[in-house]
Amino acid sequence: MANPKSKYSIFSLVRNALSYHEGWEAQWRSPDPKSAYDVVIIGGGGHGLATAYYLAKEHGITNVAVLEKGWLGGGNTGRNTTIVRSNYLWDESAAIYDHAVNLWENLSQELNYNVMFSPRGLLHLAHNVHDMQEIQRRGNSNFMNGIDAEMLTPGQCQQLVPFMNLGCRYPVMGGVLQRRGGTARHDAVAWGYARAADALGVDIIQKCEVTGFDIENGVVRGVQTTRGNIGAGKVGVVTAGHSGVTAEMAGFRLPIESFPLQAFVSEPMKPVIDVVVMSNTVHAYISQSDKGELVIGGSGDPYISYSQRGCFDQVEHVVGPVIELYPIFSRVRMMRQWGGITDVTIDRSPVITKTPVENMMFNVGWGTGGFKATPGSGHVFAASLAKGEMHDIAAPFAMDRFHTGALIDEAAAAAVAH
- What residues make contact with other proteins under the rule CB under 8 A? 242, 244-245, 253-258, 302-307, 311-313, 345-346, 402-405
Of 34 and 253, CB closest to other proteins = 253
Closer to other proteins by CB, 166 or 245: give it. Answer: 245
* Contact (Cβ atoms closer than 8 angstroms) between residue 77 and residue 186: yes
Residue among 253 and 387 whose Cβ is closer to other proteins:
253
Provide the minimum distance between the beta carbon of 94 and other proteins in the complex, in angstroms, as a whole number: 23
Measured CA to CA, the distance from residue 3 to residue 62 in angstroms comes to: 11
Closest-CA residue to 264 (of 211, 317, 304, 226): 317
Quote the CA–CA distance of 387 and 182 in Å, as a whole number. 33
Evaluate the CA torsion angle 176, 180, 182, 187 in order and state its sign.
Answer: negative
Using DSSP's 3-state secondary structure scheme, residue 402 falls into: helix
Cβ nearer to other proteins, comparing 143 with 252: 252
Rounded Cα gap, residues 377 and 52, in angstroms? 11
CB of 136 to other proteins, least distance (A): 31
User: From the CB of 235, what's the least distance to other proteins, in Å?
Assistant: 21
Angstrom CA distances, 361 to 257, 353, 364, 390, 392, stand at 19, 6, 10, 9, 15
| Least Cβ distance, residue 409 to other proteins (angstroms) | 12
340 DSSP β-pair partners:
261
The smaller minimum CB distance to other proteins, of residues 197 and 254, is found at 254
Query: At its nearest, how many Å lie between other proteins and the CB of residue 346?
Result: 5
Sort strands 203-205 and 182-183 into parallel, antiparallel or unpaired: unpaired
Query: In the complex with other proteins, which residue's Cβ is closer, 70 or 154?
Result: 70
Shortest spacing between CB 404 and other proteins, in angstroms? 7
